[in-house]
Each structure stands twice: as structure tokens, then as C-alpha cells.
Amino acid sequence: MPAKVDAEQCTGCESCVEDCPSDAIKMSDGKAVIDVDSCIDCGVCVDTCPAEAISME
């Protein structure tokens, strides 16, 4: 299952963008957006997000 971003919790710090091994996360309007087709379900972004805005569904 791909990761999911809670846009209300996302602070736009871009930590997840930098750490994503599959380059599946981009920023849009200051919030992280995950490309579900590129996401490899590794969970690195969940562990990286300081705002706990990313979860695995």
C-alpha cells in the first residue's frame, strides 16, 4: 500500500522528498504529494516525517 499524506498535518519541510528512495514525493502548494505509481511502500517517509503527517494505509 502506498503512503498517504495528511495535508493538514504536513508542514512542508521537504524531509520526505529528500529521503524518498524512489523519488515518489513531490511538493505541491507547500505540501507533500505522493505518486502512488512510483511509491515502493518502503515506509522511509513515515519514519522521516517530523510532523507525523505520512502514514501507510
> What are the boundaries of each domain within the chain?
3-56
* Distant-in-sequence, close-in-space partners of 56: CB < 8 Å, separation ≥ 6: 1, 2, 3, 4, 41, 43, 46
For residue 43, the model assigns a pLDDT of 96
* Distant-in-sequence, close-in-space partners of 32: CB < 8 Å, separation ≥ 6: 5, 10, 12, 14, 16, 17, 25, 26, 45, 53, 54
Q: Which fold has domain 3-56?
A: Alpha-Beta Plaits (3.30.70)
Full pLDDT tens readout for the chain, 57 residues: 889 999 999 999 999 999 999 999 999 999 999 999 999 999 999 999 999 999 997
Amino acid at 42: C
Q: Is the pTM of this model over 0.95?
A: no
Cell of 33: 504529494
For residue 32, the model assigns a pLDDT of 98
For residue 57, the model assigns a pLDDT of 77
